[in-house]
Structure 1
Amino acid sequence: MFDIGFFELLLIGIVGLLVLGPERLPRAARTAGLWVGRIKRSVSTMQREITSQLEAEELRQKLAEQQKKLDENVNQARRSVEKHFESGEKRDTQAPSASSADELHRVERSAPAASDDASSAPHDASPADKDSASR
């Protein structure tokens, strides 16, 4: 912070000795040292806080950039899926061919009809329920 060399400190010490005297100079030097230490700690604390705030801001910016990229990728994937389904719907809206209509009729005819006998009872019924139903 300040560029104080040996000769400046010597000059301050001599002036302090002349002004304060030998009795009060050690006490004044100790008090000045405590104040300088407190000031240094305060400045160091402020520097650390400023540095941490700057790092946090950098992380927020990087996070915002990554979020933006992720949003772009999600939007691109959504557009791709929508385009795929739109092209599929266009194919489905076209008239079905004769062979697919024949297949549909064949499947409908081959489906078994539901009957009312015991085989159509639910499969999750307990054996006691089945026994009581047969009585």
Structure 2
Amino acid sequence: MFDIGFSELLIVGIVALIVLGPERLPKAARFVGLWVRRARAQWDSVKSELERDLAAEELKRSLKEAEEAVRDTGQRVRDSAAEAEREYRQMRDSLRDTAQQAAEGLQPPAADAAPLALPAAGDGATDPMPAGGSETEAPAHARADDTDGPRHA
């Protein structure tokens, strides 16, 4: 910014010594030093305030980005939940339709169809086990070897 070298400072010092004289020069130097310190302190204050503002803006931007990321993640979760619910309903409806089709295939024919003819009770010709017994041998526990009743093992 200001490019002041040693030669320029020497010239300013000589001019100040001539103008102010040797009695007032130390007092003027202290006064100039005081104002230079105040100017630097003010500059440092402005600089630190700007840095704080920039840091606050960066923090706000970071917070906004994090908030958007959370919002996007929440939306993706809601979309995934809605998709899962849609798939669940489709699967449930598909299973219900399949179950209904299977149940319709297992139901007896409609009332207008001819009923199956069942053999009459006591009819020996169609009865698989006639009342008089079977030609095959009865099981061992049902044989009448004892007259007291069935035999227990």
Q: Which residue of 1 aligns with 2:40?
A: 40
Bigger radius of gyration: 2
- SS class of match (2:2): coil
Q: Which residue of 1 aligns with 2:75?
A: 75
* Code of the aligned partner of 2:99: S
* Larger helix fraction of residues: 1
- SS class of match (1:4): coil
Partner Cα distance (1:2, 1:27) in 2: 25
Q: Which residue of 2 aligns with 1:85?
A: 85
Q: How many aligned positions are there?
A: 99
Partner Cα distance (2:2, 2:38) in 1: 16
TM-score norm. by structure 1 comes to 0.64
* Code of the aligned partner of 1:12: V
- SS class of match (2:3): coil
Deviations 1:29-72 (A, max 9, x none): 10000000110111111111112211221222122112112211
Whether 1:97 aligns to 2:95 is no
Taking every aligned residue pair, what percent have the same amino acid on both sides? Answer: 40
- Give the unaligned 5+ runs of structure 2: 104-153
Whether 1:2 aligns to 2:41 is no
Note the C-alpha offset of 1:78: 0.6
Partner Cα distance (2:44, 2:3) in 1: 18
**Aligned-residue CA RMSD in angstroms?**
2.1
- Give the unaligned 5+ runs of structure 1: 102-135
Note the C-alpha offset of 1:87: 2.7
TM-score norm. by structure 2 comes to 0.57
Partner Cα distance (1:34, 1:18) in 2: 22
* Code of the aligned partner of 2:22: P
Note the C-alpha offset of 1:85: 1.7
